[in-house]
């Protein structure tokens, strides 16, 4: 009765018919509940044909650690209450930075199970109330506190280790990481929800102006790569990862409305059908055979492609989990877009830029859009929703893509969740 390699399907289809998010950023006066209300309201407004919100039957809330970030547990029913949906069941789903993707997966299963026709999936995180060092410590609890953290690692260190392994194995230069960050800022500048809605060139010019205003020596960066190589402008965090290689500390929320496929057209004539879903787990980083790939991502992607019956080449728009720039390159290989060791070349050649043959992270990615960890996996779906429906504005991809993919990682890949969406 071994079930390995069996392609599994949901008992019935599920579609996304609404999607919204708060702005991502640092909002000192707002709790996660306030941000969730903002995301919920935008989600409501996004439903083309409208609907009665009281028809929502259950809530699935992705959240990493309201416990440690806000000193608030049991956060799911608070979210239900604040959008007026109590007494509907509300549950929090946690898989570290993959909590949002995992919540989406629970919502899918809930509808596919026949129990519900209409459910809300949310993602929330409020990180900026803590001082930075405590945020780093809190994020570190997503690694193994018995075996990994006592060895002196925190997440920049983990991903730096992956980056150095990748460089050693494939000959990638450090510059390619900076290029990924540069690229994601180029797209994030076109996203009004992004935490850092500025191109690197804009940031550089703003720094020069600020120096002039203060009567300080004006920096002489000739171009963006000079800026990104400047240890004062872009300090080293954990070699080779610099500040602009790391996603920020963020507050934010996102929400999507899932319904059973057969009623999707009551809500919209342009729904996103979830045709592929995969999730996988893994042990601690030191137990892995490789540091240059994330096995759970490969497995989750395989399962999602198999369920969807599509190949990597069929995917038109992709949001990957670029918590660090190295993670985007590794993801581009784990997802099968490039062969192992080829991802960095594609990044260097502009293939993954918005105008390239394989655009990745048109939203700006976690790097520029922001990374409120429990919200990120749901936030990725917002970009797929916009791109597949032709609503992405200045960052809209050409060619009317009909298939999108999200890739959401927890820890260093102790969890990975992949979903594939088709516009119908």
* Residue among 355, 314, 351, 347 at smallest CA distance from 329: 347
One of 246, 321, 323, 371 is an active-site residue; which one? 371
- Complex with its own copies: residue 144 or 224, whichever CB lies closer: 144
Least distance between its own copies and beta carbon 284 (Å): 8
Q: From the CB of 46, what's the least distance to its own copies, in Å?
A: 18
By the 8 A CB rule, do 331 and 297 touch? yes
Cβ nearer to its own copies, comparing 296 with 352: 296
Smallest distance from its own copies to CB 190, Å = 33
- Please indicate whether residue 371 is annotated as part of the active site: yes
The rounded distance, in Å, linking the Cα atoms of 221 and 198 is 17
Q: Is the dihedral of CA 144, 149, 155, 157 positive or negative?
A: negative
Bridge partners (DSSP) of residue 274 are 421
Q: Residue 93: is the preceding peptide bond cis (ω within 30°)?
A: no
Inter-residue contact 264 to 236 (CB < 8 Å): no
Q: Which is nearer to its own copies, 44 or 109 (CB)?
A: 109
Nearer to its own copies, 155 or 337 (CB): 155
**Antiparallel, parallel or unpaired: β 272-281 and 317-319:** unpaired
Minimum Å gap between C-beta 103 and its own copies is 9
On whether the CB atoms of residues 17 and 261 are closer than 8 A, the answer is no
Closest by CA position to 104, among listed 117, 120, 115: 120
Minimum Å distance from CB 62 to its own copies? Answer: 10
* Smaller CB separation from its own copies, 65 or 191: 65
**Residue 253: which H helix or E strand, with range?**
strand 251-260
Tell me how far apart the alpha carbons of residues 386 and 371 are, in angstroms, rounded to a whole number.
19
Catalytic status, residue 74 = no
SS3 416: strand
Comparing C-alpha atoms, which of 22, 205, 18, 244 is closest to residue 123?
A: 22
- Annotated catalytic sites, by residue? 97, 371
């Amino acid at each position: 009765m071994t079930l390995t390699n069996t392609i599994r399907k949901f008992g019935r289809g599920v579609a996304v018919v609404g999607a919204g998010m708060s702005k991502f950023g640092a909002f000192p006066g707002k709790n996660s509940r306030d941000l969730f209300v903002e995301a919920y309201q935008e989600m409501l407004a996004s439903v083309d044909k409208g609907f009665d919100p009281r028809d929502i039957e259950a809530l699935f809330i992705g959240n990493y650690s309201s416990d440690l970030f806000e000193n608030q547990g049991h956060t799911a029913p608070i979210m239900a209450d604040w959008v007026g949906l109590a007494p509907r069941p509300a549950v929090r789903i946690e898989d570290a930075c993959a909590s949002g993707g995992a919540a989406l997966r629970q919502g899918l299963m809930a509808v596919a199970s026949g129990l519900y026709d209409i459910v809300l999936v949310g993602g929330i995180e409020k990180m900026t109330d803590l001082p930075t060092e405590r945020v780093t410590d809190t994020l570190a609890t997503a690694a193994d506190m018995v075996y990994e953290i006592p060895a002196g690692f925190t997440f920049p260190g983990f991903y730096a280790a992956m980056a150095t392994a990748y460089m050693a194995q494939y000959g990638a230069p450090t510059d390619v990481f900076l290029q990924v960050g540069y690229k994601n800022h180029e797209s994030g500048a076109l996203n009004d929800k992004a935490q850092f809605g500025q191109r690197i060139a804009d940031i550089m010019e703003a720094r020069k102006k600020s120096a002039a205003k203060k009567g300080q020596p004006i920096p002489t960066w000739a171009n963006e790569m000079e800026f990104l190589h400047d240890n004062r402008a872009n300090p080293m965090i954990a070699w080779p990862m610099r500040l602009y290689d790391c996603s920020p500390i963020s507050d934010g929320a996102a929400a999507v409305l899932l319904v059973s496929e057969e009623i999707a057209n009551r809500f919209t004539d342009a729904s996103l059908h979830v045709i592929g879903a995969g999730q996988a787990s893994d042990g601690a980083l030191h137990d892995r055979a490789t540091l240059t790939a994330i096995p759970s991502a490969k497995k989750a992607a395989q399962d999602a492609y198999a369920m969807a019956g599509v190949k990597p080449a069929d995917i038109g728009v992709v949001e990957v989990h670029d918590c660090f720039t190295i993670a985007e390159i590794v993801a581009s290989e784990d997802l099968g877009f490039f062969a192992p060791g080829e991802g960095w070349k594609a990044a260097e050649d502009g293939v993954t830029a918005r105008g390239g043959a394989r655009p990745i992270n048109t939203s700006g990615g976690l790097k520029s859009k922001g990374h409120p960890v429990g919200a990120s996996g749901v936030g990725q779906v917002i970009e797929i929703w916009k791109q597949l429906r032709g609503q992405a504005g200045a960052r809209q991809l050409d060619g009317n893509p009909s298939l999108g993919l999200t890739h959401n990682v927890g820890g260093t890949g102790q969890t990975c969740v992949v979903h594939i969406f088709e516009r119908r």
